[in-house]
Homo-oligomer: A and B are copies of this chain.
Amino acid sequence: MESIKTRRTIRKYTNQNISSELLNAMLEEASRAATMGNLQLYSVIVTRDIAMKEKLSPIHFNQPMVRNAPVVLTICADFRRVTDWCSQRKAHPGYDNFLSFMNAAIDALLLTQNFCTIAEDNGLGTCFLGTTIYNAGQLVEILDLPELVVPVATITVGYPDENPQQPDRLPLESFIHEEYYHPYTNKDIDKYYSFKESLQENKDFIALNKTETLAQIFTDIRYRKEDNEMMSKTFLETLKKQGFLS
């Protein structure tokens, strides 16, 4: 599929709006993704309001896409609606646990990717914001999310105002394992990461960040152990507060 093959993240958007008709048609189509027991364990919060974007922006480390995109979607793992349905139908729901969170997160993420594919096929650009789970607790407050609803993904969407190069990807053999997982030898690692390490942009990135290796940019600057541990704690607290760890 051409739109998938040539896909790249789009962070700059024109000021053209996305009509409700188009957005709704795309979200409806996205809901064709597989879902547990056909329960559709997700909700999508649509942000168009400028004041709401201002509130969301710091949650996403003030990345400019949040303010500049016509539409921001926060996709949530949601067992609230099903739980309400069960309670209203003489059934006793038991979805206030970690497995149920994972089931709902899976549904939400399949919907998210389906939506991105459809949006890109419609000429739109998207950016996936991984920051959602870093500050899930604050998103709960801002978006009024009730118990059994936890945000797992944010997508900014708009008409592209840039045409960036496609980033590199690891060779296929690096992430495919036939029948069993084959542990990586030192030689494998050298082979799989050599192309990435050879790119001028990554060499420039090392110089800019004054590290010795590219990997150190990830461990020492971008995704640090102490930050990961702190955010693990707050994300688990959010799961608990939202009723998924009882």
Contact = CB atoms under 8 A, between A and B. Distances in A.
A31 B113 CA distance: 12
A98 B212 CA distance: 28
Contact of A24 (B112, B143, B172, B222): B172
Contacts of A99: 133-134, 228-229, 231-232, 235
A218 B41 CA distance: 13
Interface string A14-46: 000000000010011111111011111011111
How many of chain A's residues touch chain B, expressed as a range? Answer: 35 or more
Given A45-B179, A186-B88, A117 B219 contact: no
B92 A219 contact: yes
Contact of A34 (B9, B34, B93, B152): B9
A190 to B, nearest CB: 8
Interface string A91-111: 111110111101101100110
Interface stretch (A59-67, A74-82, A157-165): A74-82
Q: How many copies does the complex hold?
A: 2
A220 B91 contact: yes
Contacts of A229: 94, 97, 99
Contacts of A110: 109, 112-113, 128
Contacts of A228: 94-95, 97, 99-100
A84 interface: yes
A4 B31 contact: no
A145 interface: yes
Interface of A: 1, 4-5, 7, 9, 24, 27-34, 36-40, 42-49, 52, 76, 78, 80-82, 84-86, 88-95, 97-100, 102-103, 105-106, 109-110, 112-114, 116-118, 121, 126-128, 130, 133-134, 143-146, 149, 152-153, 166-170, 172, 174-181, 183-184, 186, 189-190, 192-193, 212-216, 218-220, 222-226, 228-229, 231-232, 235-236
Across the A-B interface, the 6 shortest Cβ-Cβ residue pairs: A94-B225, A113-B113, A89-B215, A91-B215, A34-B128, A109-B109
